[in-house]
Structure 1
Amino acid sequence: MYKKIYITILALGLLAGCKKDPALVVPTDRVSTSSFPNTLDELNTILAPAYGNLKSIGLWGFELMPKALENSTHTGDANYNGDAAWNEMTANNLSVTNGKSQNAWTALYAGVTTCNVTLAAADFFEANKASSAQKADIDAIRGQAKFMRAFYYFQLETLFGEAYIKAGGVNEGKMGIPLYKEVPKNVETTQQARATTKAVWDFIKADLKDAAALLDAKVWPAAEIGRATKWSAKALLGKAYVFTEDWANAKTTLLDVINNSGKTLMPFAKYKDAFNGNTANEFNEESLFELNVDADNKGNYGPWGGVPNASTLNGVIWSPYILSEAGTETGARPLGYGGNLGVHDKNVTRFGYPLGYYNLVTNPAFDNTKPASFSNPAQVMDPVYKAQAQLVRTNKTADPRLYVNLVQPWVDVLNTDWNGAPKQNVPVSKPDYLAGQPNTYGWGFRKYAAIDYHINNVNYDKWNWYFLRMADIYLLYAEASIGSGDAVTGLEYINKVHRRAYDLPINTVSARDYTSLTAATPAISDPVLGTNPLRYERWAEFFHEGIWWFDVCRWRLGPQEATFYGTARNLSTPLTFNEAKSYSWPIPLTEFNANAKIAGQQNPGY
């Protein structure tokens, strides 16, 4: 724990930061207030938890994605209904004691605290210990702290703020979240009322402008490539402008990133394998900010180990299934926890998959002189259907991103281990809990999932997590262009992302292009996305990345989405959406118990 005369640290049970910089490790000893930080390395040590906190259990370490956002958007379809907080996320009807939202709130504010600690320590170091030659390095640390503080406040405001600001300043006076601009020096200053939405967004934007300026000339060496950059800050600033419908500033800022960052869309050949732990794809030409993850649980159960820099553990929940050793869907084997979270069937057709459900038939190639196995199954997918399914891929009848994101039973084959056995090629299966249910697709996750190893044997993810990439910038720029009346430019940037999905040159007009902002999309008979290319491209491009929830909320698509998905396996009643409350998560009851200044400031409906 860090102790200073002039600061009080609110939360420090945080994980360490960038994996490729061994100096970025949380110290476990107490240090003297008269000698720390004494060096730049020590100042970097204080900064490290600002990054490492991203892997907290309540954030991208585990709960935020598979147990919160996946269920809120119905990307996933939870089979397990024994977790009340999880069920509330699926129903978009949270209680003020919901553990998932409370843990996110706590972890996000812990991140804010680490940034405030860093900024105070930077001031102390510069005033008392540093040489003038160290000014640029200190400013680079300040820039990272300001970027990360803005990042955490961005998440807090979009999850817990009362409403998004709309064009012309609508909703600027609504309730935002409490702002802590420095580490509280005493108990009294830990009590903060909710700022207005305008004050919160203004603070986020100011931090990002400062971060971009402080990091302007900084180029990180390979060992520190996970750190934020000037372009990370400008990209998030452009996103903040879009999320507050400041179209003019959004266009200027995002175009700066497009023209001057040196970043572009990665080619499809790289894109299709960019989410599963291929280290050659890390920090690529599309990435603006990503979470650096080592495939290492540090000798414990991933983020539950409590040791610095342990890997994340999302994939244990959204693992695909492979056939049983006897070659059946009954007894299918998950490459992680079984019976938790599958893919909602409605997502398959939303990507444009045109075929109905499949049936199992007697395997015409079954060798009855050998035991049934996954390489010699007694029953298989109807060969006629399988041939049609393969043609859908070959002809790109469905959006090719379907196969970037998901794996298809019987058609996809995974080269994976099982309980320590050597890797074997095994067909994908429906989850065992869907075996014998013919009117189900039963596809599994591919993006951010263990597809070549059994995650439950090792308890870790091995993929980096993208927070900001150029596809987001292109589509945000398209939205800002459309918002400011430039539909032609908007459509072109939508098409750039669309072309990449079909492995086409992104800057060349193609037969796959949308011809208008109301053109038909791959989403079959979809009232929400079927004739809205901007919405569809954001849904399809960032499927399973935790981004769609924020688009649903700012575009107020909740009831339409609930109607589209209809049901969820962990709920006994049809999906609904309460527009009066569900776009905002409730401020946790624990915060009301600790912060008297927010009395009476709960979000409407809670």
Structure 2
Amino acid sequence: MYNKIYIALLAVFLLAGCKKDPALVGPTDKVSTSSLPKNLDELNTVLAPAYGNLKSIGLYGFELMPKALENSVHAGDSNYNGDAGWNEMTANNLSTTNSRSTNAWAALYAGVTTCNATLAAADFFEATYASSGQKADIDAIRGQAKFMRAFYYMQLETFFGEAYIKTGGVNENKMGVPLFKEIPKNLEATQQPRATTKAVWDFIKQDLSEAAVLLDNKVWPAAEIGRATEWSAKALLGKAYVFTEDWTNAKTTLLDVINNSGKSLMPFDKYKNAFNGIIANEFNEESLFEMNVDADNKGNYGPWGSIPNASTLNGIIWSPYILSEAGTETGSRPLGYGGNLGVHDKNITRFGYPLGYYTLVANPAFDNTKPASFSNPAQIMDPVYRAQAEAVRTNKTADPRLYVNLVQPWIDVLNTDWNGGAKQNVPVSKPDYLAGEPNTYGWGFRKYAAIDYHINAVNYDKWNWYFLRLADVYLLYAEASIGSGDAATGLEYINKVHRRAYNLPVNVASARDYTSLTAATPAINDAVLGNSPLRYERWAEFFHEGQWWFDVCRWRLGPQEAAFYGKARNLTTPLTFNENKSYAWPIPQDEFNANAKIAGQQNPGY
């Protein structure tokens, strides 16, 4: 991996930055005195790709969520089976050449590279050009680079590491990922064996601890609000402690964020619309780190084209459907690229929706003097069912986060355009490929989905992506409290998140509170989440945010999850999960071809 990007990196940073002379592109042990950076603006230019890389095709620009994680955890149910890598993700049975995992590996290490380049550039600038008064600004850039490097390594380790560290140091000597702590100075340095899991996690924690110090009290102006902060670093550090079951340090670190960051859970009225591109909701009181996404593809097809990583394009795959022009489910229209990925029906009851499937009946208000249309449909949802469904919503019989995350056919109405036309209020529909299948719910995604525009007409997402929210900190703190024997505190922080979901005062006990750590949750007939408030709240709160896979793996819930979901549309056989293999993605074959020092270090089962 590293030797593939090594020469390019030296060309961009070490050897005069913008110069194109081929003679300047080659290994060196020293930074050229004629190279970047010569001022803080140029140093920030070196840092910028550390953030921008998050939007790469292999990561959150496109592939990682809709084609990997949403299928791995079955939030999505793929209707398309013509993509082998996608199918492998659904089956949790990857090959060493799986394109999704391979591309994620390469993109994550590209992120590490940009961070290492920034740290080297900071040292060079401070030693060569900086004034003494620029020390604090340089350190703030170092802090961001260390935070981002830890972020990339944490993703690498949780996807590709052999096992999570458990209480008492269990699994500390399992295989982690190769560590590159600086820019390789020669090709030999690009060859690194897999470090131990302990070494990787220790490096992540060290980077985050140092980032928090370097960013201490740094407040970014409005134009730079998306940058990492001290509290971003401490929140991710607390998460790293929880993921390695270091409960003592986790509690201390996370409580610091809770008490001193100035963050609070956003009110439900904001929360329900916080994932759909409303600018006023970005970088809000709950957000600790989010990816800034510009609603502008700069002439590209999302992350592809002459300006890579200009925007993201996840929503083109998981777009909801609206009724056809004729008001039918047959021929219903996706607000993105249709026929790919819908919502797995089992998620509907998992949120506590108690009703079965609906049927269509003749519309008693149909005006046969006018053509059938979405405002004058010949058939509608059975009115009796509709009344029951509306009562579920009004009475909060189901978890209200169901409606934050998903849209319901016939009941939800989207004010949207169609291929760039005028906006119209159109009811949500089942996907056209489910039309005529009565034993399906056919709900669509709402969170991180195009609900007020046709994404295929503009080729970009318009919502920022949350990586760290205070709700995550609360539930991590709850887990750390429970892990250290303080069940009462753990239960209270679980209930704080639960109360917000029901639009209740966060810090006041309510009739909806869980009364124990094994109390019944909204999940119906669910052996995994039905009596585990901690598990349920993490699943429900971060549904469709790319978090659940890590919980499935560290809690080893794979077989139970496969049994719960049962099947997927893009597979011909029932879902299964191999506990001896599937919790860790395979080290890509490309890495074995490029890195001789990991020979014999593949994850078990591959």
**Fold similarity call, TM over 0.5:** yes
Confirm or deny: 8 A CA contact 1:218 1:229 kept in the other structure.
yes
Counterpart in the other structure of 1:535: 535
CA distance in 2, matches of 1:580, 1:462: 40
Counting aligned pairs with the same residue, the percent is: 85
Counterpart in the other structure of 1:86: 86
C-alpha deviation, 1:217, in angstroms: 2.5
C-alpha deviation, 1:311, in angstroms: 1.2
- What letter matches 2:244 in structure 1? T
C-alpha deviation, 1:195, in angstroms: 0.1
Counterpart in the other structure of 1:576: 576
Confirm or deny: 8 A CA contact 1:474 1:494 kept in the other structure.
yes
Q: Is it true that 1:274 corresponds to 2:274 in the alignment?
A: yes
So what's the TM-score if we normalise by structure 1?
Answer: 0.96
CA distance in 2, matches of 1:161, 1:204: 13
Counterpart in the other structure of 1:4: none
CA distance in 1, matches of 2:45, 2:539: 38
- What letter matches 1:469 in structure 2? R
Confirm or deny: 8 A CA contact 2:161 2:176 kept in the other structure.
yes
Q: Is it true that 1:246 corresponds to 2:246 in the alignment?
A: yes
SS in 2 for 1:176: coil
Counterpart in the other structure of 2:255: 255
Structure 2 residue runs without a partner (length 5+): 25-31
CA distance in 2, matches of 1:554, 1:11: 34
Counterpart in the other structure of 1:480: 480
Confirm or deny: 8 A CA contact 1:142 1:211 kept in the other structure.
yes
Counterpart in the other structure of 1:420: 420
CA distance in 2, matches of 1:235, 1:262: 13
Q: Is it true that 1:399 corresponds to 2:399 in the alignment?
A: yes
Confirm or deny: 8 A CA contact 2:255 2:477 kept in the other structure.
yes
C-alpha deviation, 1:300, in angstroms: 1.4
Confirm or deny: 8 A CA contact 1:298 1:305 kept in the other structure.
no
Counterpart in the other structure of 2:49: 49
Q: Is it true that 1:599 corresponds to 2:592 in the alignment?
A: no
Confirm or deny: 8 A CA contact 1:9 1:117 kept in the other structure.
no
SS in 1 for 2:303: helix
Q: Describe the superposition over 1:321-360 as per-residue Cα deviations: whole angstroms up to 9, x where unpaired.
A: 0000000000000000110000000000000000000000
C-alpha deviation, 1:569, in angstroms: 0.1
SS in 2 for 1:553: helix
Confirm or deny: 8 A CA contact 1:11 1:110 kept in the other structure.
no
C-alpha deviation, 1:305, in angstroms: 1.8
- What letter matches 1:208 in structure 2? L
- What letter matches 2:98 in structure 1? N
CA distance in 1, matches of 2:144, 2:19: 24
Within a 5 Å distance, the mapping from 1:134-533 to structure 2 comes to: 134-307=134-307, 310-533=310-533
SS in 2 for 1:304: coil
C-alpha deviation, 1:310, in angstroms: 1.3
CA distance in 1, matches of 2:522, 2:514: 11
CA distance in 1, matches of 2:343, 2:519: 27
- What letter matches 1:164 in structure 2? Y
CA distance in 2, matches of 1:201, 1:534: 24
Q: Describe the superposition over 1:338-395 as per-residue Cα deviations: whole angstroms up to 9, x where unpaired.
A: 1000000000000000000000000010000000000000000000100110000000
C-alpha deviation, 1:34, in angstroms: 2.3
Confirm or deny: 8 A CA contact 1:116 1:181 kept in the other structure.
yes
So what's the TM-score if we normalise by structure 2?
Answer: 0.96
The 1:28/1:538 distance shift into structure 2, 3 A limit, reads farther
Q: Describe the superposition over 1:399-450 as per-residue Cα deviations: whole angstroms up to 9, x where unpaired.
A: 0000000000000000000022200000000000000000000000000000
SS in 2 for 1:302: coil
SS in 1 for 2:177: strand
CA distance in 2, matches of 1:41, 1:406: 43
Q: Describe the superposition over 1:95-129 as per-residue Cα deviations: whole angstroms up to 9, x where unpaired.
A: 00000000000000000000000000100000111
- What letter matches 2:435 in structure 1? A
The 1:10/1:190 distance shift into structure 2, 3 A limit, reads farther
Confirm or deny: 8 A CA contact 1:10 1:113 kept in the other structure.
no
CA distance in 2, matches of 1:335, 1:231: 37
Confirm or deny: 8 A CA contact 1:291 1:464 kept in the other structure.
yes
Q: Which moved more, 1:29-38 or 1:509-518?
A: 29-38
Counterpart in the other structure of 1:34: 33
Structure 1 residue runs without a partner (length 5+): 1-6, 15-26
- What letter matches 1:34 in structure 2? T
- What letter matches 1:555 in structure 2? W
Counterpart in the other structure of 1:22: none
